[in-house]
Amino acid sequence: MKRSNSWPNRWGIALAVVLVGPLLSRAVAEPVPIRLDLTASGGGQTTGGTVNQPSGTMVGTAFFASGNLTGDGWNLDWAVDGNTDPVVNGVFSVVNELSVPQEFNLQVVMPVDPIFPFSLTGGSISGTVSDTNGNGATLTTLFNTALYTSKIDGNAFRTLYDDPTTFVAGGFDTIAIPAVSFGNPIPSQLGPLVNSSIGIDLNFTLSPGDRAAFTSVFVAEVPEPGTWLLLVLGAVGVALASRRRG
pLDDT of the residue at 244: 61
Residues 184 and 243 in one domain: no
Q: Domain limits at 75? A: 34-223
* pLDDT beyond 50 at 193: yes
Residues 155 and 54 in one domain: yes
Give yes or no: residues 218 and 243 share one domain.
no
Residues 190 and 242 reside in one and the same domain: no
Same domain? For 123 and 198 the reply is yes
Taking a C-beta distance cutoff of 8 angstroms, is the pair 86, 99 a contact?
A: no
Is residue 14 over pLDDT 70?
Answer: no
In the chain, pLDDT over 70 holds for what percent of residues?
A: 70
Domain co-membership, 21 together with 85: no
What are the distances in angstroms from CA 101 to CA 61, 97, 127? 40, 9, 19
Same domain, 219 and 230: no
Q: What is the number of other CB atoms lying within 10 angstroms of the CB of residue 78? A: 21
Same-domain status, 75 and 20:
no
Same domain, 54 and 116: yes
**pLDDT score of 63:** 85
Same domain, 5 and 39: no
What's this model's pTM, rounded to 2 decimal places? Answer: 0.78
Do 116 and 228 belong together in one domain?
Answer: no
Q: Terminus-to-terminus CA distance in the chain, angstroms?
A: 14
Q: Which residue has the higher pLDDT, 205 or 60?
A: 205
Same domain assignment for residues 157 and 229? no
Number of structural domains the chain divides into: 2
**Taking residues 189-198, what's their average pLDDT?**
95
Which residues in 35-48 are b (16+ Cβ under 10 Å) and which e? ebbbbbbbbeeeeb
Distance CA 36, CA 136 (A): 34
Residue 50 has pLDDT above 50, yes or no: yes
